[in-house]
Structure 1
Amino acid sequence: MQREEPTARPRQPWWRLVVVGLVAVAAAGHLLVVTLAALPPNTYSDAARPATSYLGAYFAQNWRLFAPNPVSSDRVVRFQGAYEQDGELVVTDWLDWTDVELDLVRHRLVGGRAGYVTTKLYGPLGSRYRPLDADQRAIADIAEPVEVLGWPTLRRELVAVSDDQLDDRQVDLYLVYDRAAARLATEALEAQHPDRRMVAVRYATRSQGVTPWGSRGEDAEARERARPTPVQRINGWREPLRGTAAERASVRDFWERHR
C-alpha cells in the first residue's frame, strides 16, 4: 500500500504577518503605558507622564490613601448656574455638590462610601487646566454668563490662539473634563431648581489643607485657625449640557436622597 505524502501548509501572506506583528507591538506598548500610569508616583512615572496622557480621560489611578502622598486636604467642587426670569439673567447660589455626595460617607453604613464623582473630577479639572497658556485661559475663563460660548466655538477659539499641535491635544483633554463638569453641573442645578432651565453653568474647585499635626490636640476653633488658607479656582461659564432622561432622573433622585 502506497503512503500518501503530507500536503504542505500554504504560507501565510506577508501582510498578515506584518499586521499581527504591529498589533502585538501596539498591545505590548499599551500594557507598558498602563503599568507606568498605575505605579505610585516616582521618577519613572513622572518621566513617562507625557506618553501616558492619552489615558487621562479613561483611566485614573491615585495613591492618596498611602505614602508617599496620602490625603492632606479637603477638596470641594461647587456648581453655579444662571437662568432667565422676566427677561433677565438670575445667578444661583453656589451648590456644594461634594457635600451632597459625602452624605454617602457620613450617613450610610453600607455601599458607595468612596465612589463619589467629584473626587474623580477634582484632580483632572486642575491638571488639564494648568497646561493652557495665558491667551487660552483668557478665553476659557468667561466671566459673564451672557458671554457664554457654544462648545464648538469654545474649542475653535482655544485652538486658534496656538499653532502647536501638542497644545491642541491639551485643549481636547481639558475639554473632556470641562464638559463632564458642565454636564454634572447642569443636571445637579436643575435637580435643585426643578422649575428652572439653566442657560449657563460653571464650577469652582476649592482645596484647604488639613489641620497640622502639632495642632491636632487643640480645641475646634484653634484647629480651624491653624489650617492653611483655602485655594480656589472659579472656571468660566459654559453652555449647559444634558444627558438622557434616565441620567437626569438619576441625578435628581440622588439630590433628593442626599441633600
Structure 2
Amino acid sequence: MSTMTETSPEVQDAATAVAAPRPRPTWWVKLIAFAACLLTLWHVGASFLWIAPYSALREIPTQEVLAGYMLPMFGQSWSVFAPEPINGDYHFNVRAVIEKDGQEIETGWVSATDVELSMIRYNLFPPRAGIQSSEVASGQMNAFNKLDDDQKAVVGLDFTEEGWEEWMVRSFDELEGEKPSTEAYMAEEHLSTAYATQVAYAIWGADAVVQVQYRVSRQNVVPYADRNDPSAQRPDPTFSTTGWRLPIEEEGQSRENFADTFRAQFERIQP
C-alpha cells in the first residue's frame, strides 16, 4: 500500500530558493574587494617592515615611501622594550625678547613640554597636541649631537637678522677641515625655531615678540642597576645650546589656532 504526501507551497518555495544559483557579484564589487585585499596586504607588510629591525627588505618600497605612509598616523615602534628602551625625558623650553612700553625685555623660560604634557596626564583620550614639543626636542637634540664642537659653537651664536638661516649655513661652510653634514641639523633647527615662535606668540603675543630662543634638554632616568637604591638620583640633564633667533613661520600656519589651544592650557596650569 503506497501513500502520497502533498508538499506545501511554502516548502516548495524554499526548495526552489535553495536550488536556484546565487547571482555572481558584479565587476565593481569584485574590484572593490580586490582593492581592499591589496590595501590590507600593503598595510600589514608596511607595518611589519616599519616595526622590525632594519633590513634590506625596507629598500623594496624604500625607506622614504615607508616613512611617508607610516607617519604621522601609523607610526609605532618597540622602543619601550629591550634591548634599547626609552630611558630619558626630553624638554623644550622657550623664552623671548618682547617689546613693552617702548623697551625690549627678556622674558623667563617657559617649559612648552610641561604645558603640553598637562593635556594628556590623566586623560583617557589624549590629544596629539600633547606630544609635539617632545618630538621636536628629540629630533633637534639627536641632530645636534651629530655635529662636531666647531659646528655646535656656530649653533650657539645669535642669528637675528633677515635670512639668518642662510647666514648660519654660510657660517658652517666657512669652518675649516672635514665636517659632518649639517643638512639634517638645519631641518631640525628650522622646525624648532618655528615651533618656538608659535609658543612665544601664544604666550606673549605676536605683535610683542622680537626674538625667540629655545633650549632643549634630555634627562635620563635612574640607571637600571640602581633601581632598588632609594637614594639613587637621576643623572643631570644634558642641553643643546642654541642662540637667539629671528621668529619664523611656515606658510599656512594658523597662529590663532595654536594660541587658542596652547594659551588656554598654559593659563590653566599657572599657580
TM-score, length-scaled by structure 2: 0.62
Residues 185-194 or 118-127, more deviating: 118-127
TM superposition outliers: structure 1 runs of 4+ over 6 Å: 34-37, 55-61, 145-149
Residue 186 of structure 2 corresponds to which residue in structure 1? 175
Query: How does 1:141-160 map onto structure 2 within 5 Å?
Result: 141-142=156-157, 150-160=164-174
CA contact (8 A) 1:37 1:61 kept: no
For structure 1, which runs of at least 5 residues remain unmatched after alignment? 1-33
Decide whether aligned partners of structure 1 residues 79 and 56 sit closer, same or farther in structure 2, where only a CA change above 3 A counts: farther
Residue 235 of structure 1 corresponds to which residue in structure 2? 242
- Output the CA distance in 1 between the equivalents of 2:68 and 2:184: 7
- Output the CA distance in 1 between the equivalents of 2:83 and 2:132: 24
- Output the CA distance in 1 between the equivalents of 2:49 and 2:122: 34
CA contact (8 A) 1:151 1:239 kept: no
User: Which amino acid is the alignment partner of residue 202 of structure 1?
Assistant: Q
Decide whether aligned partners of structure 1 residues 89 and 234 sit closer, same or farther in structure 2, where only a CA change above 3 A counts: farther
Residue 135 of structure 2 corresponds to which residue in structure 1? 120
Residue 17 of structure 1 corresponds to which residue in structure 2? none
- Output the CA distance in 1 between the equivalents of 2:92 and 2:143: 15
Superposed CA RMSD in Å reads 3.9
Taking only the aligned residue pairs, the percentage that are identical comes to: 24
How far apart are 1:97 and its partner, in Å? 0.7
Residue 191 of structure 1 corresponds to which residue in structure 2? 202
How far apart are 1:160 and its partner, in Å? 2.8
Secondary structure of the residue aligned to 1:238 is coil
Residue 258 of structure 2 corresponds to which residue in structure 1? 251
Residue 6 of structure 1 corresponds to which residue in structure 2? none
CA contact (8 A) 2:155 2:241 kept: no
Residue 205 of structure 1 corresponds to which residue in structure 2? 216
- Output the CA distance in 1 between the equivalents of 2:263 and 2:101: 28
Structure ID, larger Rg: 2
- Output the CA distance in 1 between the equivalents of 2:221 and 2:95: 26
Secondary structure of the residue aligned to 1:128 is helix
- Output the CA distance in 2 between the equivalents of 1:202 and 1:122: 13
Residue 29 of structure 1 corresponds to which residue in structure 2? none
TM-score, length-scaled by structure 1: 0.65
Secondary structure of the residue aligned to 1:255 is helix
Secondary structure of the residue aligned to 1:204 is strand
For structure 2, which runs of at least 5 residues remain unmatched after alignment? 1-45, 267-271
- Output the CA distance in 2 between the equivalents of 1:187 and 1:104: 17
- Output the CA distance in 1 between the equivalents of 2:107 and 2:182: 28
- Output the CA distance in 2 between the equivalents of 1:187 and 1:140: 20
